[in-house]
């Protein structure tokens, strides 16, 4: 087996709640190779954030990693002590978050915050880390970098703050950058700029990127591979082009179908996915998606399908497609 | 920037202060009647004597004139040549008038007692803050642990026990009890021993019990406040960002969380400043502490209206100063506050 940069194996993360244990991440496996961009999509609550937080060792009590491995360059991060994790976080694995408005500390200057990973991991002193912050600001396209390092977060616009967050993540030259919905809180033009920046960063620094997003258009434009999550599990995974062309899980299929497309007949109605996301404390039997699935067969109600190869490069957890059904064709009949 | 902001705040506070003087003067005017207690009861005074005394004191004038005299407005006008004849100074010149009991300036009474109150209250605030913040931090970090439950109970006790009761209890244990058992004991009252006392150690020994009592009540409130404020801060996104940078949990707490958590506490403490003078009164009385609180009680009981008035005004100034101090500190700690 070839060694991946990051390999997650059967990761399980649980939250004890009053209604029972919630398996927010329920046996997730995937890998990430150097320099590639992996997209993670899925409905709200499907476990995307908890998956990446688990990788970073950032799941807060009462949540806990109940099983699995997170191999980074061959070392299992799940077994790492807090001290060992602190060594890796912010240095090898960097993370940027959804809301740049609240993700920066309001009482410290942005340059101080951006330079902090360098002071923590590279032992730089303050003046040098500040100079580095200025040059990093320049690289991420921050206007007037010398002045901006002296600004407090509230003095920066949303786009500038997200640039600052990206600069902060990149100062130490991490090999993995995790971006959890980095553009959701920004307006459309700024979104495009930030995505462009992430693309540039990925190419220039050869940083492997995990990009979580709700926007399938973003996935199409940014990610070589995509992974679709549903109720804490990976339901489909493969090269973006293949998955978009031949969705092999009904959930992916319906996500793509709910997307407005220019090449489709304008009169053809958009279809939203019917039904509600499942309650994690009371999951449906068999395949968790079966109550909402138009392709359901009897087996789906009884047995959860394994994530298995459906097409050469594509894996999906679906009895129907594993039996050889092409959803695009069958979909035309199901309606 | 900051001084401009402070100056602006002071200017805004001036009308408030003026309002306080009107109310204070008005209340005393209404309640104290003649202002000179027992004058009518003195058989040696003829009505015309009383009238003369009142005229000397300016009490025959209408309210507004009396009030303006008391403020010292005529004196100001006199300085710029708009008022004929010599006039007395007033409040605006820092003259709070003279005590009705002993005739000495009210200000001198206040200044004589002020250091004792400041000594006691500032020490109590200091102890309160120094103990409350770690208590709150521990409670927040170990939420639900036995330590947290213990600290919570301690706070409830602290809030519920009346000051005077705790004071008496402590005196009973550490002064009387310890003395009877032949153990080293703490003084039960006063600011210094009259015999062979007055050195630093002796004065500190006198401070221990009153400071403890005062600090305990505030500590209870402030530690709860710190705890909830810490919990709030800890759940913020920037704390997650800090953790994602790979720093020790200690640094996460003390550099990235605490600073944000204490900002609202500063306001709370600033607002408590004046009540420490008033709330300190009970403690001062139980421990015979020669501070402002005890002065206020003595003078109120003795119908010394001018002194009571002076003390009321002084407290009002403290309230405003406390607010101002809190606002300025808040602005220093929180860069989001613009000095406008
Ligand atoms: N602190 C918590 N306590 C209990 N359950 C939690 C907690 N945090 C997350 N969960 C559960 O984990 C599930 C996955 O959450 P997660 O944040 O990973 O979703 P997500 O896919 O990132 O959604 P979104 O698109 O809204 O960000 C949620 O459905 C929720 O039930
Ligand atoms: Mg999320």
Summarize pLDDT for B77-103 with one digit per residue, the tens: 888 888 777 677 888 888 888 888 888
* For chain A, domain boundaries: 6-223, 228-334
| CA distance to partner chain A, nearest, from residue B243 (Å) | 7
**In this predicted model, what pLDDT tens digit does every residue of A311-327 receive, in sequence order?**
989 999 999 999 988 98
CB B111 within 8 A of CB B295: no
Q: Please list the ranges in chain B whose pLDDT falls under 70.
A: 32-39, 86, 197, 275-279, 338-340
**For a pocket test of ligand 1, which of A14, A26, A50 has the largest count of ligand atoms closer than 8 A to its C-beta?**
A50
Partners of A178 in beta bridges: A95, A210
Tell me the two tokens of residue A95.
């993370």
Contacts of B81 by beta carbon, 8 Å cutoff, 6+ apart? none
For residue A1, pLDDT over 70 is answered with no
Of A261 and B35, the structure prediction assigns the larger pLDDT to A261
Check CB contact under 8 Å for B244 and A95: yes
**For a pocket test of ligand 1, which of A14, A15, A288 has the largest count of ligand atoms closer than 8 A to its C-beta?**
A15
**Which residues from chain A sit within 8 angstroms of residue B236, using beta carbons?**
102
CB A224 within 8 A of CB A239: yes
Check CB contact under 8 Å for B238 and A89: no
Q: In what order do the strands lie in the sheet with A20-32?
A: A20-32, A6-17, A64-72, A75-76
**Which residues from chain A sit within 8 angstroms of residue B240, using beta carbons?**
58, 97, 103
How many whole angstroms from A91 Cα to the centroid of ligand 2? 22
Of B340 and A131, the structure prediction assigns the larger pLDDT to A131
Q: Which residues of A touch B (CB under 8 A)?
A: 56, 58, 82-83, 85-91, 94-95, 97, 99, 102-107, 116-117, 120-121, 152, 154, 165, 168
Predicted local confidence at residue A269, as pLDDT: 64
Tell me the two tokens of residue A136.
């990093």
CA dist B266 and B256 (Å) reads 17
Check CB contact under 8 Å for A152 and B243: no
Strands A6-17 and A64-72: antiparallel
* For chain B, domain boundaries: 113-293+324-333
In short, whether A15's Cβ falls inside 6 Å of ligand 1 is: yes
Predicted local confidence at residue B191, as pLDDT: 82
Q: CA quadruple B54, B55, B57, B62: dihedral positive or negative?
A: positive
Predicted local confidence at residue A328, as pLDDT: 86
DSSP A74-119: TEEGGG--HHHHHHHBTTTEEEE-S-HHHHS-TTS-HHHHHHHHHH
In short, whether A55's Cβ falls inside 6 Å of ligand 1 is: no
For residue A200, pLDDT over 70 is answered with yes
Check CB contact under 8 Å for B260 and A97: no
Q: Which of A41, A21, A17, A18 is nearest to A30 (CA)?
A: A41
**Which residues from chain B sit within 8 angstroms of residue A94, using beta carbons?**
244
Cis peptide, bond prior to residue B247, ω within 30 of zero: no
In short, whether A47's Cβ falls inside 6 Å of ligand 1 is: yes
Check CB contact under 8 Å for B247 and A102: no
**Which residues from chain A sit within 8 angstroms of residue B265, using beta carbons?**
none
Asked if B248 is an interface residue toward chain A (Cβ–Cβ < 8 A), one would say yes
Residue A51 Cα: closest atom of ligand 1: 18
Tell the burial category of A283 from Cβ atoms under 10 Å away from its Cβ (0-12, 13-18, 19+). middle
**Which residues from chain B sit within 8 angstroms of residue A89, using beta carbons?**
243-246
CB B270 within 8 A of CB B322: yes
CB B167 within 8 A of CB B210: yes
Check CB contact under 8 Å for B242 and A105: yes
Residue with the smallest CA separation from ligand 1 atom 7 is A15
Residue A98 Cα: closest atom of ligand 1: 27
Check CB contact under 8 Å for A89 and B243: yes
Check CB contact under 8 Å for B240 and A103: yes
**In this predicted model, what pLDDT tens digit does every residue of A86-123 receive, in sequence order?**
999 999 999 999 888 899 999 999 999 999 999 999 99
CA dist B200 and A15 (Å) reads 58
Chain A interface test: which of B245, B260, B331 (most A C-beta within 10 Å): B245
CATH 3.40.50.300 holds for A6-223: yes
Average pLDDT over all residues of chain A: 91
Instruction: Find tokens 């069958």 and name the residue.
Output: A330
What does each C-alpha distance from A324 to A227, A236, A241, A248, B47 come to in angstroms? Answer: 21, 15, 19, 10, 119
Instruction: Find tokens 């138009």 and name the residue.
Output: A294
Asked if B145 is an interface residue toward chain A (Cβ–Cβ < 8 A), one would say no
DSSP H or E segment with residue A311: strand A308-311
Neighbours of B285 (CB within 10 A): 19
Predicted local confidence at residue B261, as pLDDT: 92
**Which residues from chain B sit within 8 angstroms of residue A120, using beta carbons?**
245-247
Predicted local confidence at residue A15, as pLDDT: 95
**In this predicted model, what pLDDT tens digit does every residue of B9-64 receive, in sequence order?**
888 888 988 898 898 888 888 876 565 666 677 788 888 888 887 787 777 788 88
Instruction: Find tokens 């109970």 and name the residue.
Output: B153
CATH class of B113-293+324-333: mainly alpha
Check CB contact under 8 Å for B333 and A94: no
Average pLDDT on A220-246 reads: 95
Q: Which of B109, B105, B102 is nearest to B88 (CA)?
A: B105
Q: CA quadruple A209, A213, A219, A222: dihedral positive or negative?
A: negative
Crossing angle for the helix pair B106-141 and B305-333, nearest 10 degrees? 40
In short, whether A105's Cβ falls inside 6 Å of ligand 1 is: no
Average pLDDT on A140-155 reads: 93
Instruction: Find tokens 């396209």 and name the residue.
Output: A141
* Triad A305, A308, A310: Cα angle to 5°: 110
CB B167 within 8 A of CB B120: no
pLDDT band at A228 (very low <50, low <70, confident <90, very high): very high
Of B246, B263, B335, nearest to A91 by CB-CB distance is: B246
Of B31 and A31, the structure prediction assigns the larger pLDDT to A31
Q: Which of B94, B78, B96 is nearest to B86 (CA)?
A: B78
Chain B residue with minimum CA distance to A83: B248
How many whole angstroms from A183 Cα to the centroid of ligand 2? 12
Residue A181 Cα: closest atom of ligand 1: 27
Predicted local confidence at residue B330, as pLDDT: 82
Predicted local confidence at residue A270, as pLDDT: 64
**For a pocket test of ligand 1, which of A16, A41, A45, A178 has the largest count of ligand atoms closer than 8 A to its C-beta?**
A45
**Which residues from chain B sit within 8 angstroms of residue A103, using beta carbons?**
237-238, 240-241
CB A47 within 8 A of CB A229: yes
Neighbours of B146 (CB within 10 A): 8
CA dist A80 and A86 (Å) reads 9
Partners of A227 in beta bridges: A40, A237
**For a pocket test of ligand 1, which of A48, A51, A97, A181 has the largest count of ligand atoms closer than 8 A to its C-beta?**
A48
Query: Long-range contacts of range A308-315, CB-CB < 8 Å, 24 or more positions apart?
Result: A310/A248, A311/A238, A311/A242, A311/A246, A311/A248, A313/A238, A313/A239, A313/A242, A314/A236, A314/A237, A314/A238, A314/A239, A314/A242, A314/A243, A314/A246, A314/A248, A315/A236, A315/A237, A315/A238, A315/A248
Give me the phi and psi of B284, to 5 degrees please.
Answer: -60, -40
């Amino acid at each position: 087996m070839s060694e991946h940069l990051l390999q997650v194996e059967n990761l399980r993360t649980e939250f004890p709640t009053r209604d029972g244990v919630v398996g927010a991440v329920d046996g997730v496996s995937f890998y990430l190779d150097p320099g590639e961009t992996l997209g993670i999509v899925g409905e709200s609550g499907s476990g995307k954030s908890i998956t990446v937080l688990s990788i970073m060792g950032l799941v807060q009590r009462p949540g806990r990693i109940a099983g699995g491995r997170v191999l980074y360059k061959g070392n299992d991060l799940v077994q790492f002590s807090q001290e060992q994790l602190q060594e890796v976080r912010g240095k090898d694995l960097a993370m940027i978050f959804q809301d740049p408005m609240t993700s920066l500390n309001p009482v410290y200057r942005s340059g101080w915050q951006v330079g902090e990973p360098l002071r923590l991991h590279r032992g730089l002193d303050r003046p040098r880390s500040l100079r580095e912050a200025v040059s990093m600001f320049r690289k991420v396209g921050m206007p007037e970098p010398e002045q901006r390092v002296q600004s407090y977060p509230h003095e920066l616009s949303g786009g500038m703050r997200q640039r600052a967050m990206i600069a902060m993540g990149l100062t130490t030259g991490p090999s993995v950058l995790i971006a959890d919905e980095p553009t959701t809180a920004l307006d459309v033009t700024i979104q495009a700029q930030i995505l462009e920046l992430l693309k540039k960063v990925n190419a220039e620094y050869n940083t492997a990127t995990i990009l979580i997003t709700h926007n399938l258009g973003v996935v199409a434009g940014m990610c070589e591979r995509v992974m679709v999550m549903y109720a804490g599990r990976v339901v489909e995974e493969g090269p973006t082009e293949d998955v978009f062309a031949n969705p092999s899980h009904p959930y992916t299929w319906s996500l793509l179908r709910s997307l407005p497309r220019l090449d489709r007949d304008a009169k053809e109605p958009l279809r939203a996915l019917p039904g509600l996301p499942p309650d994690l404390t009371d999951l449906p039997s068999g395949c968790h998606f079966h109550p909402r699935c138009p392709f359901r067969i009897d087996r789906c109600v009884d047995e959860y399908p394994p994530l298995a190869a459906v097409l050469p490069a594509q894996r999906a957890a679906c009895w129907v497609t594993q039996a050889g059904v092409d959803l695009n064709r069958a979909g035309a009949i199901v309606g | 920037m900051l001084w401009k902001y402070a100056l602006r705040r002071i200017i805004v506070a001036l009308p408030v202060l003026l309002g306080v003087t009107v109310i204070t003067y008005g209340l005393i005017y209404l309640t104290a009647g003649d202002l000179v207690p027992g004058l009518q009861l003195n058989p040696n005074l003829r009505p015309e004597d009383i009238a003369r005394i009142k005229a000397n004191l300016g009490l025959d004038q209408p309210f507004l004139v009396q009030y303006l005299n008391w403020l010292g407005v005529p004196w100001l006008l006199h300085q710029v040549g708009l008022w004929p004849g010599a006039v007395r100074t007033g409040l605006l010149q820092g003259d709070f008038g003279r005590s009705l009991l002993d005739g000495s300036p009210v200000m001198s009474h206040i200044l004589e007692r002020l250091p004792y109150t400041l000594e006691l209250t500032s020490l109590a605030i200091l102890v309160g803050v120094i103990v409350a913040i770690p208590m709150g931090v521990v409670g927040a970090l170990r939420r639900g642990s036995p330590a947290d439950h213990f600290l919570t109970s301690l706070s409830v006790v602290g809030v519920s026990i009346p000051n005077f009761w705790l004071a008496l209890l402590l005196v009973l244990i550490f002064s009387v009890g310890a003395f009877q058992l032949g153990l080293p004991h703490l003084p039960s009252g006063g600011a210094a021993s009259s015999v062979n006392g007055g050195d630093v150690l002796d004065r500190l020994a006198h401070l221990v019990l009153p400071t403890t009592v005062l600090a305990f009540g505030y500590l209870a409130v402030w530690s709860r406040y710190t705890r909830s404020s810490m919990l709030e801060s800890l759940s913020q996104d920037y704390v997650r960002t800090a953790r994602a940078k790979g720093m020790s949990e200690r640094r996460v707490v003390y550099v990235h969380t605490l600073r944000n958590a204490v900002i609202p506490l500063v306001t709370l403490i600033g607002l408590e400043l004046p009540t420490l003078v008033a709330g300190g009164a009970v403690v001062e009385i139980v421990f015979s502490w020669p501070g402002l609180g005890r002065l206020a009680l003595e003078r109120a009981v003795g119908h010394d209206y001018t002194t009571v008035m002076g003390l009321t005004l002084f407290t009002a100034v403290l309230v405003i100063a406390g607010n101002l101090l809190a606002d300025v500190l808040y602005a220093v700690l929180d860069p989001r506050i613009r000095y406008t």
